[in-house]
Amino acid sequence: MNMHRVVAIISKEFIHIIRDPRSLGMAIAMPILLIFLFGSSLSLDVDNVPLVVWDQNRTNESREFIGRFTASRYFGLSGYVTTYHEIEQAIDRREAILALVIPADFSRKLESGQSSDVQLIVDGSDANTATIAIGYAQMITDGYSSSLLIKTAQTRGAKTASIPLEAKPRVWFNQNMQAKNYIIPGLIAVIMMVIAALLTSLTIAREWENGTMEQLLTTPIKPIELIAGKLTPYFLIGMLDVLLAVLMGQYLFEVPLRGNAALVFGMSAIFLPGSLTMGLLISIMTRSQLLASQLAMVLTFLPSFLLSGFMYSIANMPTAIQGLTYLVPSRFFVAILKNIYLKGAGIAIILSEAAVLLIFAVVLIIVANIKLKKRLV
């Protein structure tokens, strides 16, 4: 490889990027815009679930039970109702997702030591939110029942009363269980995959469309030198994008980075060549900027968004789809960034994912070199 020829191609590409504000804007502004939009709007947290209550008992006991719901951060009281028709209307108007119905004999049964049933009516049109809301309600009800058991035991003369078995959950790595803490690292991986492929998907196709590829063919430049020269400017821009994304996560979304920041950039330096080469390979194959950009978007955005584990758990996917996820490089970068951000993982933990990304980059560079060589001949 002749470094003088590589540097000449790098200089040519930089000049083209600077002269084309659209490319420069897409390279820098788009990742910032996407992270801001997705990071601000995308949340899986379910708090302040709208709640309506039909209290048929209206005693201190029922009010105490309702207070357990309204005092938590999980539910927000929308109002009281007195009929099932009003519950239906509240759910239809999206004023309530959960309705709590307390029977008229609620306090009498509790005082007599009998169990009492309370009814939970949930809007199942959003199954995910409904499931989480039921879990919250069940947790509050269990807590209230436990306190009643202890109170009853003490009333009957027991000096000490306690629940025989009590689970004490302790959450590691994301103590507050905030969705943004794992969404932002995954978002950085997905967006960098898309942007990197889009940037380089235009490079070779643009040369063909502008007629400058014929001039390159008259030079002694080799395919691998052309690839290195084309990739280097966008690699540097990609690293700048990673820096901006990390700063946005740290200071705008306040996502804690528990691991080594240098490791984030080191892993990005392994991930970006593969993503950039993927775009370059698309550009070599299509020779059309429009087709190349559309193909790059389809081949990167959808697989990265759906199959990388960024939004949906890979373990819950069908077996065949789980196998398909191993072909998506962002799957490994998402895992790396989540490990570094949330667990403070070191190189020993993420070494296998890094090795896969490195192999992915090397294989794509070899394929791109072969394909470009055939085009130049």
CATH classification of the domain holding 145: 3.40.1710.10
> What confidence score (pLDDT) does residue 215 get?
74
Residues 136 and 183 in one domain: no
Would residue 127 count as lying in a domain? yes
Residue 157, phi-psi category: left (phi > 0), alpha (psi -120 to 50), beta (remainder): left
- The model's pTM is 0.79
Would residue 170 count as lying in a domain? no
Residues 297 and 208 in one domain: yes
Cα–Cα dist 338/336, whole Å: 6
Would residue 173 count as lying in a domain? no
Residues 274 and 331 in one domain: yes
Burial 322-334 (b: 16+ CB within 10 A, else e): eeebeebbbbbbb
Which of 90, 122, 156 delimits the end of a domain?
Answer: 156
Which of 95, 121, 156 delimits the end of a domain?
Answer: 156
Please name every residue paired with 79 in a beta bridge, in sequence order, or none if there are none. 52
What is the domain range of residue 97? Answer: 49-156
Contacting residues for 181 by C-beta, under 8 A, at least 6 apart: 174, 255, 256, 341, 342
Residues 129 and 245 in one domain: no
Say if residues 244 and 192 touch (Cβ distance below 8 Å): no
User: How many C-beta atoms surround the C-beta of residue 377 within 10 A?
Assistant: 7
Which residue's entry shows tokens 């072969």?
370
Residues 16 and 129 in one domain: no
Residues 361 and 277 in one domain: yes
pLDDT mean by block of 10 residues, the chain; 377 residues: 83 83 78 85 78 92 91 90 92 90 90 86 86 89 86 70 68 80 89 88 80 75 86 92 92 90 94 92 84 86 88 86 91 93 90 94 92 66
Smallest CA-to-CA distance from 193 within 292, 308, 284, 358 is with 308
Residues 298 and 208 in one domain: yes
Residues 133 and 262 in one domain: no
Please name every residue paired with 102 in a beta bridge, in sequence order, or none if there are none. 55
Would residue 165 count as lying in a domain? no
Would residue 163 count as lying in a domain? no
DSSP codes of every residue in 42-73: ------SEEEEEEESS-SHHHHHHHHHHHHSS
> What confidence score (pLDDT) does residue 51 get?
93
How many Cα atoms sit within 13 Å of 79 on the Cβ side? 11
Residues 93 and 140 in one domain: yes
> What confidence score (pLDDT) does residue 155 get?
74
Would residue 59 count as lying in a domain? yes
Would residue 161 count as lying in a domain? no
When divided into structural domains, the chain yields a total of 2
Residues 219 and 195 in one domain: yes
Cα–Cα dist 282/285, whole Å: 5
Helix ranges, the chain (H): 3-19, 21-41, 60-71, 84-92, 106-111, 127-155, 180-200, 203-210, 213-217, 223-247, 261-286, 289-307, 319-325, 329-338, 347-376
Would residue 25 count as lying in a domain? yes
Say if residues 330 and 303 touch (Cβ distance below 8 Å): yes
> What confidence score (pLDDT) does residue 16 get?
81
Residues 265 and 138 in one domain: no
With both helix axes pointing from N to C terminus, report the angle between 180-200 and 289-307 in degrees, rounded to the nearest 10. 160
Residues 190 and 67 in one domain: no
Say if residues 345 and 339 touch (Cβ distance below 8 Å): yes
CA angle 88, 93, 97 (to 5 degrees): 65
